[in-house]
Amino acid sequence: MASTPTGKELFFSFFRLGLTAYGGPAMVAHIRELALNRHQWLDDKEFRNGLALGQVTPGPIIITATFVGYMVQGLTGAVIATIAIFTPSFLLVVAVAPIFDRLRSSPYFGRITDGILASFVGLLLFVLIKFATAVPWDLLRIIIGL
């Protein structure tokens, strides 16, 4: 594991992630990139454990971010990462709610939404490939996977 980030570094890393990623399961690829490749806060096994924990609880993306924060800074890091990843979406909803009906009827908004949904498929495929290559496959795991 690389050096422990400061609270400010942790907050802004997850805030940027929450601001630029579209949410849902595709966001896992972004969290993985942040925690493993960019900062080396976790190794692959630790990340997969956190992801598994997140998938069996409500709000899997928030829980995964919380887990990463906890692993690098304990309870304080968990709180910081959770607030940071949640804040951009909350602010966006508060800002857009009053004009959403007009926005929804815009053809440009529809095109943007279509593009985001198309990229979602690519991100899911990327995550699938990354996790599939990390599994030591045997007959039992193949059957469970299928």
- Alpha carbons 76 and 92: distance in angstroms, whole number: 25
What pLDDT was estimated at residue 89?
Answer: 86
Average pLDDT over residues 32-37: 87
Percent of the chain at pLDDT above 90?
Answer: 22
CB 3 within 8 A of CB 40: no
Query: Per-residue DSSP letters for 69-116?
Result: HHHHHHHHHHHHHHHHHHHHHHHHHHHHGGGHHHHHT-HHHHHHHHHH
Say whether pLDDT at 50 is over 80.
Answer: yes
CB 116 within 8 A of CB 43: no
What's the pTM value of the predicted model, to 2 decimals?
Answer: 0.65
| Residue that wins the pLDDT comparison between 128 and 79 | 79
What pLDDT was estimated at residue 1?
Answer: 55
| Tens digits of residue pLDDT in 2-21 | 668 889 999 999 998 888 87
Average pLDDT over residues 14-42: 83
CA distances from 10 to 6, 64, 70, 71, 78 (A): 6, 14, 11, 12, 10
* Highest mean pLDDT out of 22-31, 52-61, 114-123: 114-123
Mean pLDDT of the chain: 86
What pLDDT was estimated at residue 81?
Answer: 94
